[in-house]
A and B are shown apart, each in its own frame.
Chain A
Amino acid sequence: MLEIQAITQVFGGLTALCDVSFTIRQGDITGVIGPNGAGKTTLFNIISGIYRQTSGRILLQGKDISGLPPERLAQLGIVRTFQNIELFGQMSVLDNVKVGLHTKSHSGLFSCSFKLPWHLVEERRITESARRWLEFCGIADLADQRADSLPFGKGRLLEIARALASEPKIIFMDEPAAGLNSRETQDLASLIRKIREAGITVVLVEHDMELVMDVCDRILVLSLGEKLAEGTPREIQENTSVIAAYLGEG
């Protein structure tokens, strides 16, 4: 469903990604792993439109989406979460998720200021669906708290709820388990499966190997900006060059 074709990214003189190609299949949970500095987050930043790649193309369901800005990609169904959670700190938890519904609503400056009837209908729909997604992620009881008052683990869930609210085709998660304890990580694993069951394709960058091997259908291994291997968790675990790369690092 999402084809990454020969992506290369050069910063100054530094090549962060070199000729990486990969296909993400619909309905899969895909893991992207690799030692530090492998270019995983760079890849995410390119796919989500935050960086513009030096060369290469990205196709979503056959359509070239390279170089589109993040807000266009969100409309097309690509969302992401961030490694160091990016919440709207001064807003309530519920309002955070409501922003996730931005692409699903259309009232402009005019109808919002004059509270036109269709705007009111839309606001009601936004509130209902925002609450539903909070429930989906198990944080409905926090709806009225300020986002920056949440503990780290809950903030992570809120970020996922906000991303899901836009009803994406694919959600990219940048190290969703970072900073979570083992119970929270287990809950996260079941949430990720639940997201897939809701028909959303999941891609995650993750260091927690247990989690990756547990939930992922396919894995892409990057090392020093190049594709090292791809395959099922089993194939990756048995791949000698992957083992070498990790051992070489540690």
Chain B
Amino acid sequence: MKRELLKFLILAIVVAILPALLSGSYLVNVLIFVGIHTMLAVALNLLLGFAGQISLGHAGFFGLGAYASAILTTTYGINPWLAMVAAAVAVSLLAFAIGFPILKLKGHYLAMATLGLGIIFFIIFNEAVDLTGGPSGFSGIPNLKIGSITFDNDLKNYALIWLFTLVTVLLSLNLANSRIGRALRAIHDSEVAARVMGVNSRLLKVQIFALSAGISTLAGSLYAHTMGFISPTSFGFNFSIELITMVIIGGLGSIYGSLIGAFILTILPEALRTFQDYDIIIYGLILILMTMFLPGGLVRGVPGLLARLRPAGRQEG
């Protein structure tokens, strides 16, 4: 328990001092994306890593948040914070309603259904031109404000986004180590046994789906207000895959793993500028290789690998 708290405090301190060590707003900007991606990856991990239910449509929920905030604040002039809460609540309720029929499906069927759902959202973002601006995007989304502070530069946005990210991480860690977290992992390992032990697996899966969608929506709203401009390409199938890759890299069921996955997959394309659009090859390779050789992800897999190597080394010595 104490160690958990210590780990989180170290993370919080690193997050707090990191911008001071970095020169230039470009890197801070990249870290803002790391934050948003962490929120999304953690949200998806609650569903995929803990409950063992795949979603290939999470980019859609992210997009719903972004467009809801953009439309409500820019077109209808509603207070951004109010719009953000309204969007998160509405999308959670929507996910809760869709969750009952969709989470009845298992494995491959669930994957296809969530993929279909994500693509339907994507088509709406593109086609409802009057509302969303269509393929050319939606611009002029206002910055967030608290009193007289406007979040209009990278440093302020960094603070805002990472505040939300850290809270998401903390709450998810708490959830993971509670009766709900255990029940979710139980469903993952053996749904029948979990139900026999009194876990209402159907309801719990739907609840976690709604929560996961809600957090993704929130991340979408923050993204829209930070960027000021959004377009459908950010919310397509490829981004859903990118999120899955983040979760897989870090490890299913590891909250800090998702943070690491989000960090790697955000930094990687920036570092490998020459790759441009070819990053999907890398994602493909990562997905295949990780699933084959390191199914536990980096956080749990690497110590395991080291442990396996060590006794062998001792014998030689």
Q: Which residues of A contact B (CB under 8 A)?
A: 48-50, 69-71, 73-75, 79-80, 82, 86-91, 95, 98-103, 105, 107-109, 112-115, 119, 122-123, 126, 162-163, 166
Contacts and interface: CB of A to CB of B under 8 A. Distances in A.
A88 B179 contact: no
Given A71-B201, A74-B197, A102-B198, A112 B185 contact: no
A225 B189 CA distance: 32
Contacts of B198: 71, 74-75, 79, 102-103, 166
Given A71-B198, A91-B186, A102-B199, A107 B192 contact: no
B193 A88 contact: yes
Contacts, number: 103
B23 interface: no
A113 B188 contact: no
A128 B201 CA distance: 25
B186 A88 contact: yes
B183 interface: yes
A166 B197 CA distance: 7
A102 B183 contact: yes
Contact of B192 (A70, A89, A115): A70
Most chain A beta-carbon contacts within 10 A, residue among B174, B178, B186, B189: B178
Contacts of A70: 192, 195-196
B186 A99 contact: yes
Nearest to A78: B196
Given A99-B182, A119-B178, A71 B199 contact: yes
By DSSP majority rule, is chain B's interface helix, strand, loop, or mixed? helix
Contacts of B183: 99, 102
A114 B171 CA distance: 6
A79 B171 CA distance: 32
Interface string B189-221: 110111111111100000110010000000000
Contacts of A79: 196-198
A107 B178 contact: yes
A113 B171 contact: yes
7 contacts: A69-B195, A70-B196, A80-B196, A82-B192, A101-B179, A123-B178, A163-B196
A221 B192 CA distance: 27
Contact of A98 (B182, B194, B196): B182
Contacts of B19: none
B23 to A, nearest CB: 37
Contacts of A123: 178-179
B175 A102 contact: no
Contact of B175 (A74, A109, A163): A109
Nearest to A112: B178
A100 B196 CA distance: 9
B172 interface: yes
Interface string B247-288: 000000100000000000000000000000000000000000
B180 interface: yes
B134 interface: no
Given A88-B185, A98-B182, A99-B199, A82 B193 contact: yes
Contacts of B188: 90
A31 B193 CA distance: 22
Given A88-B186, A109-B211, A114-B174, A126 B179 contact: yes
Nearest to A111: B178
A98 B177 CA distance: 11
Interface string B99-113: 000000000000000
A162 B197 contact: yes
Given A79-B198, A88-B186, A89-B190, 19 more contacts: A48-B196, A70-B196, A71-B196, A74-B195, A75-B198, A86-B190, A88-B185, A88-B189, A95-B185, A99-B194, A99-B199, A102-B198, A103-B198, A107-B180, A109-B180, A112-B175, A113-B171, A113-B174, A166-B197
Given A88-B194, A102-B179, A113 B186 contact: no
A15 B96 CA distance: 39
Contacts of A108: 180
B135 interface: no
Contacts of B182: 91, 95, 98-99, 102
Nearest to A86: B193
